[in-house]
Amino acid sequence: MILLQFLSLSVNILCLVQKLPQIIGLYKTKNVNSISISSVLLEEMGYTIVLAYNLWKHYPLSTFFEYVVLFIQDILLLFAIAKYSINEKDKRTTNRSKPLYGILIFCLYLLASLLGLVPKVWMNICTLFVIPISASSKILQLRTIISNKSAGQVSKIGWAIAAYGSFARIITNLYETNDMNMVINLLISFILNTSVVIVCMIYSKGPVPKLTNENRKKTT
């Protein structure tokens, strides 16, 4: 069906640039305010689990291509967050260490799964955790934006692309696999991704104070 082919192709193309606006914005402004570190870490955890599972299953690359790209882009995003999360007053690296440890763990897990070091039992059940992990990451980002009353460097374009991707995958899964677990996961993702876009639009001009010890918790 032409519509399904178009949707799949559009998702694969758009995922190539999904995170780039936010990554570029971080490197330009050197400002990580309103970006939830915990949200990005949870999101990357979900990408890592799904990517490792698909590679372990030797599925065709075309069925999970977007996860390869999004995994790499989130690694770059975590590097940017780590680089610009140092408190300028006391040079503490509390926030900086979180994304760096995350990068190390995610890469080691992916490598271990490729080498067959992860138990098969775990590989078969790990995808069940993707739904709560993905939902939690988006809820944390929503909470951070609302708490700071500013979207900061959170990219509306990136989250809009994510919302479109979830919507498109709902349609393709209903027609091609009829996997209701995946459909439910995608539906939740679509609702939460859209919510982030709406909240970003509401707080797009709100000022965010510089990160200090008192408001550091707002980026976690």
Reference 41, options 9, 89, 6, 81; nearest CA is 81
Q: Is the pTM of this model over 0.85?
A: no
pLDDT of 203 above 90: no
pLDDT in tens, 79-95: 988 888 765 444 444 56
Q: Round to whole Å and give the CA distance between 99 and 118.
A: 23
pLDDT of 185 above 50: yes
Domain boundaries, the chain: 2-219
pLDDT in tens, 109-130: 999 999 989 998 888 888 888 8
Residue 219 gets which letter from DSSP? Answer: G
Residue 18 gets which letter from DSSP? Answer: S
Reference 82, options 51, 104, 66, 67; nearest CA is 104
